[in-house]
Amino acid sequence: MISHNNYILCWLATVNDDLLPNVSPKEMFLYDGITNFYIANIASPNSERNIQLNSKVCVCILDIFRQVGLQMKGVATVFKPDSIVYQKKVIDFHHKFGKRFYIKSIIHIDIDSTKEIVAPSYQFCPQTTSYDMIEDALKSYRIKDLIAAYNI
């Protein structure tokens, strides 16, 4: 298992009162590697509303270069700015991500189950290594071209 610090993409799945699914990308998240997952709600009124209706959620985080990740299911709680949890966790978010965004609320997920996600290449091509996956991702996503194009 790689460090949870390598996961850079995050999606939160919720359902509305008609049981229609909603998946929303999340830019800022903190994970203790065990059972506590926090998401900074910057601009997700649907996610927050859905959690108020049905607190069962699924969150996926991914290391896009190694093409591995975690799918976690649990119960979510929304904490507003007047709560102690919000006030404590917003400091952690600002420390890690800066103060670029106003955080409307903090979503805490108490993780019940965790499952590894791995690209099929690891299963169907057993000789595949993390290094191979990183090289393939750099080529597929044209990372070097993008770095040059953005003059980074």
Number of domains in the chain: 2
Q: Quick one: pLDDT at residue 1?
A: 42
pTM of the full structure: 0.86
Contact indicator for 78, 52 with CB cutoff of 8 Å: yes
User: What residue numbers bound the domain in which 36 lies?
Assistant: 4-118
The closest of 10, 139, 143, 122 to 67, measured between CA atoms, is 122
Q: Find the distance separating the first CA and the last CA of the chain, reported in whole Å.
A: 30
Q: Are residues 143 and 73 in the same domain?
A: no
Q: Quick one: pLDDT at residue 2?
A: 47
Residues 92-117: tens digit of each pLDDT: 999 999 999 999 999 999 999 999 99
Q: Are residues 105 and 131 in the same domain?
A: no
Residues 44-69: tens digit of each pLDDT: 999 999 999 999 999 999 998 888 99
Q: Are residues 47 and 84 in the same domain?
A: yes
